[in-house]
């Protein structure tokens, strides 16, 4: 095996046809490869993309560490549709979590704060994404089967061959134009299965500045987590 000066954390082999590189949120390199890809080929691909890997790692390591883990304390900011809202821990509140221009969390449910926030986000995601899907579907006459909200951390949306639209609940944290971009992206996949010119032309018709929203997800998607 040829020497390599880029550390590979893990090689995951599946039925996929191509080799893909992923730099995780903790700046580790994951390689996804076909079962028949030999180590020399993998290393060659890694070395070819060394500059991209190093730049990606530097970008991740430069992120504010305070954004990496929520502590669920008074004054902490939580994203909702692209804005941060302060969390208030309150004593006398019957509901576990309320949102009224700020988040209000009952002190009695603090041990389960993450699960409660996640469920709140999921409920709001289904509500808002359903609204936006229906809005854009009517504009272009898209026909879909149903909407699912997922726990996906990296895949913001997907479209199945049965016409099911799947969206990560984390999108409810993003600005509305970013959420709309993912909605439009998956709706267009109902007609165009790949990312060819026809696909992007149809996305552009519904969202002329889609590249701006796509870039936001690429650069700031790491913020969309608890």
Q: Each residue's pLDDT tens digit in the chain (226 positions)?
A: 444 578 889 999 998 999 999 888 778 899 999 999 999 999 999 999 999 999 888 887 776 655 557 899 999 999 999 999 999 999 989 999 999 999 999 999 999 999 999 999 999 999 999 999 999 999 999 999 999 999 998 799 999 999 999 999 999 999 999 999 999 999 999 999 899 999 999 999 999 999 999 999 988 888 898 8
Q: What pTM, to 2 d.p., does this model score? A: 0.76
Q: What is the C-alpha separation between 62 and 57, in angstroms, rounded? A: 9
Give me the DSSP letters along 159-218: E-TTS-EEEEGGGGGS-HHHHHHHHHHHHHTTT--S-SHHHHHHHHHH-TTHHHHHHHHH
Which pLDDT score, from 0 to 100, does residue 1 have?
43
| Domains identified in the chain and CATH numbers | 10-62 (no CATH), 66-114 (no CATH), 119-223 (3.30.2010.10)
- Give the separation between CA 80 and CA 88, rounded to whole angstroms: 15
Query: Which residue's entry shows tokens 């996305």?
Result: 203
pLDDT at 107: 95
CB–CB of 195/147 below 8 Å?
no
What residues are paired with 30 via a beta bridge? 10, 22
- Give residue 220's pLDDT: 87
pLDDT of residue 226: 87
Confidence (pLDDT) at 168: 97
Q: Residue 67's pLDDT is what?
A: 58
């Amino acid at each position: 095996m040829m020497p390599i000066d880029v550390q590979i954390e893990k090689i995951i082999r599946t039925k996929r046809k191509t080799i893909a590189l992923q730099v995780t949120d903790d700046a580790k390199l994951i390689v996804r490869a076909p079962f028949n890809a030999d180590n020399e080929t993998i290393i060659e691909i890694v070395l070819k993309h060394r500059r991209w890997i190093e730049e990606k790692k530097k970008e991740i390591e430069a992120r504010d560490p305070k954004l990496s883990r929520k502590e669920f304390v008074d004054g902490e900011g939580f994203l909702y549709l692209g804005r941060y809202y302060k969390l208030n821990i309150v004593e006398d509140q019957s509901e576990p979590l309320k949102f009224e221009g700020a988040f209000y969390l009952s002190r009695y449910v603090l041990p389960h704060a993450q699960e409660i926030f996640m469920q709140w986000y999921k409920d709001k995601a289904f509500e808002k994404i359903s609204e936006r899907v229906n809005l854009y579907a009517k504009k272009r006459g898209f026909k879909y089967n149903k909407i699912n909200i997922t726990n996906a951390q990296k895949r913001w949306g997907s479209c199945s061959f049965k016409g099911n639209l799947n969206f990560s609940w984390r999108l409810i944290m993003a600005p509305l134009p970013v959420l709309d971009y993912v909605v439009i992206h998956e709706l267009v996949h109902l007609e165009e299965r790949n990312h060819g010119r026809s696909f992007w032309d149809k996305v552009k018709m519904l969202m002329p500045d889609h590249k701006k929203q796509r870039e936001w997800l690429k650069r700031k998607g790491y913020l969309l987590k608890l």
